[in-house]
Amino acid sequence: MNVFERILSSSRIFKNRDVLRHTYTPDELPHRDEQINALATILAPALRYETPSNVLIYGKTGTGKTATVKFVARQLEEMSSKLGVRCFIHYINCELIDTQYRVFASIANALGRNIPMTGLPTDHVYEEMKKALDLRRQVVIIVLDEIDKLVKKGDEALYNLTRINSELINAKVSIIGISNDLKFKSFLDPRVLSSLSEEELVFPPYNAEQLRDILEQRAKLAFHDGVLDDDVIPFCSALAAQEHGDARKALDLLRVSGEIAEREGADRVTKEHVKKAVKKIESDQIAETVRTLPTHSKVLLFGMIVLTESGYRKFTTGEVYTVYRNLCKKIGLDALTQRRVSDLISELDMLGIINSIIISKGRYGRTREIRLEMPVDDLKAVLLEDYRLEALSSYEKNLKSLTTLDTFGEA
């Protein structure tokens, strides 16, 4: 038997894991009927070659905004082809396509042009997009997901898109903006805002029962029959409901629980697997935060690893500072002052990467007691991904010498 065939056929847990991924759009969206109907009513004029109103959609993460828009878009395209009406929906994720140039190029390319993603004058790309749009009688709906990311660089793109209908003869354009950040409205020119928000839809968070229905529906497709213990779905739903009713979080929990069960060679997914999944997801999130820290904070954390591996379960700012200074020397970095380092330690605490408490030492003043919140090996692996810290990996064996602290008395 082919080795991959064996691996692929060996999952006793998953029937189809992809169903639990974010990219999957389910055939039904429980508890979103109201939003689906509202959006469909707004977009329906497209089927008569009329311009649908622009819509802004808000709601916290994982409340089904993207899934609902994609669901309605699919149905609209189905209906338009049945009716022989040209209706085209173009989806743009503004986290990736975050400039006016790239938005225009993406629209033009979706309509058959071949515009490079950089290099031309923006005016030219705008003209190309306009020509591509106006080539035929059609309604084009542009979905700008995470629209706040686009606005960060100015509202010119939105200004131009919301005015484009006055320059078109054949085509009609309307815009759906999606965001989980309400603040972005304040960055918009009032004319752009009023044009974009002709309609507004709000997506409320899901409660535990609603999340349960969502998970049940997906679990049927994702898992083999009977492999989930009865309390697994209610537990995942309750946990995700506590955290602002996020369906993505609930689905992630379910998927990671299944993956852990599979890795352990278990036949069933249990509540214990969900508890492990909670820990794994948390530690993955912290790892992601660590990756984006400034170099000095990373060196500081490496210093804390050195101390932990040398047998310290907790340490003071002074102790961390000494090791940090030694490490900076090793990698050719100018060390920051102890005061600045103290600020960085507070930041790491706020991010949940370390835990620090201020304790009073009586007449010796106060000091901080610091400990790492993340498993040392995981943290070290993430830190050593940074090429600037690479040199430290070869010092690993020699770590103890770095903790020969001249300021150890300072507590």
Binding residue ranges for ATP: 63-67, 206, 218
Q: Which of 13, 54, 55, 66 binds ligand ATP (CB under 6 A)?
A: 66
Q: Which of 39, 142, 144, 214 binds ligand ATP (CB under 6 A)?
A: 214
Would you give the binding string for ligand ATP spanning residues 228-247, x where CB under 6 A is met?
-------------------x
H-type alpha helices, 14-155: 33-43, 65-83, 100-110, 122-134, 147-151
Contact status, residue 295 vs residue 386, Cβ threshold 8 Å: yes
> What are 95-104's contacts with CB under 8 Å, separation 24+?
95/145, 95/146, 95/149, 97/150, 98/149, 98/150, 98/152, 98/153, 99/150, 99/153, 99/157, 100/153, 100/154, 100/156, 100/157, 100/160, 101/125, 103/144, 103/150, 103/157, 103/161, 104/128, 104/129, 104/157
By CB neighbour count within 10 A (0-12 exposed, 13-18 middle, 19+ buried), where does 99 fall? middle
Q: Does the protein bind ligand ATP through residue 248 (CB under 6 A)?
A: yes
Q: Which of 26, 45, 234, 318 binds ligand ATP (CB under 6 A)?
A: 26
Would you give the binding string for ligand ATP spanning residues 150-189, x where CB under 6 A is met?
------------------------------x---------
> What are 361-364's contacts with CB under 8 Å, separation 24+?
361/411, 364/411
How many chain residues interact with ligand ATP (CB under 6 A)?
Answer: 19
Which span (22-30, 89-97, 116-124, 182-190) binds ligand ATP, by CB under 6 A? 22-30
Binding to ligand ATP (CB under 6 A): which residues in 98-157? none
Q: Which of 59, 177, 245, 258 binds ligand ATP (CB under 6 A)?
A: 59
Q: In the complex, what is the shortest distance from the CB of residue 85 to ligand ATP, in angstroms, rounded to a whole number?
A: 27
Q: Does the protein bind ligand ATP through residue 310 (CB under 6 A)?
A: no
Q: Does the protein bind ligand ATP through residue 17 (CB under 6 A)?
A: no
Which span (61-69, 106-114, 128-136, 336-344) binds ligand ATP, by CB under 6 A? 61-69
d(C-alpha 201, C-alpha 36), whole Å: 10
Q: Does the protein bind ligand ATP through residue 93 (CB under 6 A)?
A: no
d(C-alpha 31, C-alpha 330), whole Å: 57
Give the Cα-Cα-Cα angle 66, 68, 74 (nearest 5 degrees).
100
d(C-alpha 380, C-alpha 327), whole Å: 14
d(C-alpha 357, C-alpha 367), whole Å: 8
Binding to ligand ATP (CB under 6 A): which residues in 334-373? none
Q: Which of 52, 64, 205, 245 binds ligand ATP (CB under 6 A)?
A: 64
Q: Which is nearer to ligand ATP, 64 or 177 (CB)?
A: 64
Q: Does the protein bind ligand ATP through residue 251 (CB under 6 A)?
A: yes
Q: Does the protein bind ligand ATP through residue 35 (CB under 6 A)?
A: no
- Applying CB under 6 A, the residues found at the interface with ligand ATP are 22, 26, 29-32, 59, 61-67, 180, 214, 247-248, 251
